[in-house]
């Protein structure tokens, strides 16, 4: 199965700063079949990005995804207070679908 | 707007079977080309995809759980369910249902299942 490694484990930033999160796959992910989710304490994950770069409904354009092959990035251009959470990547190009271990973005 | 509401027992004894249900509103689970998934999250850990069912009934399971998992549809109640057999402490987790079989959106609120005697 494809192993996704997210880095860093924790990102300490301030509101207004830019966040760059990495998701590296152990083998190439077919056709950009990669998604990003945000999870806040006590809540279910929320879809942010699918197809590596497509924003889900209602996601602001300061959140963007990029990458292909084995290297993918989630960027948040200007952190808002509601952006402090844990972020997971998921690959759905090779069964079984797998998730990264998460990156926590904290103040 | 599609919404998913989960239900199920919180505490299960080792070797028993856990059954969770996800009630869907806003769309018929048997219409179109919809897929419905189950995912779990071990305490303080990441996410693990369990499997999904297609609106016509086809299923696909994570090979690591395949021998113990059944996902089914109840179209009369617009629900889909997860059955996990022969549970152990390693199955203690927060279980989520979600719409989709690739990217997942939206998700249910989660159901904590604790396996303990």
Backbone CA torsion sign across A10, A105, A95, B42:
positive
Which residues of chain B are within 8 Å of residue A50 when distances are taken between CB atoms? Answer: 102-103, 105
Q: Do B106 and A88 touch (CB under 8 A)?
A: no
Chain B residues contacting A, CB < 8 Å?
A: 45-49, 60, 62-64, 96, 98, 101-110
Locus of tokens 């779990």: B40
Among the listed residues A7, A1, A2, A3, the one whose alpha carbon sits nearest the alpha carbon of residue A74: A7
In chain A, the largest separation of any two C-alpha atoms, in whole Å, equals 38
Contacts of A58 in chain B (CB under 8 A): none
pLDDT in tens, B51-72: 999 988 899 999 999 999 999 9
Handedness of CA B38, A92, A50, A48 (dihedral sign): positive
Give the tokens for residue B112.
């904590």
Judged by CB atoms closer than 8 Å, whether chains meet at A96 and B62 is answered as yes
Region B30-55 average pLDDT: 91
Rounded Cα gap, residues B51 and B74, in angstroms: 17
For strands A10-12 and A103-106, give the pairing: parallel
pLDDT at B8 over 90: no
Of B17, B13, B23, B110, the closest CA to residue B68 belongs to B17
- pLDDT per residue as tens digits for the range B79-117: 999 999 999 999 999 999 999 989 999 999 999 999 999
Report chain A residues touching chain B, CB-CB < 8 A.
Answer: 33, 35, 37, 44-47, 50-51, 56, 88, 90, 92, 95-102
> Taking CB atoms and an 8 Å limit, are B49 and A99 in contact across chains?
yes
pLDDT for B57 equals 87
User: What is the nearest CA distance from B43 to chain A, expressed in angstroms?
Assistant: 12
C-alpha span between A101 and A87 (Å, rounded): 9
* Residue A32, pLDDT score: 82
Degrees, nearest 5: CA angle B59-B64-B70: 35
The Cα of A46 is separated from the nearest Cα of chain B by a number of Å equal to 7
Give the Cα separation of A71 and A23 in Å (integer): 6
Residue of B45, B63, B108 lying closest to A44 (CB–CB): B108
DSSP track, A25-68: EEEEEGGG-EEEEEE-TTS--EEEEETTTEEPTT--TTEEEEEE
pLDDT tens digit at each of 107 positions of chain A: 999 999 999 999 999 999 999 999 999 998 789 999 999 999 999 999 999 999 999 999 999 999 999 999 999 999 999 999 999 999 998 989 999 999 999 98
pLDDT at A87: 98
- Please state, in angstroms and rounded to a whole number, the distance separating the CA atoms of residues B91 and B12: 10
For residue B52, give how far its alpha carbon lies from the nearest alpha carbon of chain A (Å).
Answer: 11
């Amino acid at each position: 199965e494809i192993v996704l490694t997210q880095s860093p484990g924790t990102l300490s930033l301030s509101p207004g700063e830019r966040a760059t999160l990495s998701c590296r796959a152990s083998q190439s992910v077919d056709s950009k079949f990669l998604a990003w989710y945000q999870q806040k304490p006590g809540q279910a994950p929320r879809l942010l990005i699918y197809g590596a770069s497509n924003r889900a409904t209602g996601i602001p354009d300061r959140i963007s995804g990029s990458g292909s092959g084995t290297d993918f990035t989630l960027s948040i251009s200007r952190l808002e207070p509601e952006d402090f959470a844990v972020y997971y990547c998921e690959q759905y190009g090779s069964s079984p679908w797998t998730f990264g271990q998460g990156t926590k973005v904290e103040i | 707007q599609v919404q998913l509401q989960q239900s199920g027992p919180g505490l299960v004894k080792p070797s028993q079977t856990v059954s969770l249900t996800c009630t869907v509103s806003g769309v018929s689970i048997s219409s179109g080309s919809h897929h419905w998934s189950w995912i779990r999250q071990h305490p303080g850990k990441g996410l693990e995809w369990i499997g999904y069912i297609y609106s016509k009934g086809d299923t696909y399971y994570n090979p690591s759980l395949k021998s113990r998992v059944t996902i089914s549809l109840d179209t009369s109640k617009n629900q889909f369910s997860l059955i996990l057999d022969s549970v152990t402490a390693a199955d203690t987790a927060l279980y989520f249902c979600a719409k989709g079989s690739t990217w997942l959106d939206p998700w249910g609120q989660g159901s904590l299942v604790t396996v303990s005697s």
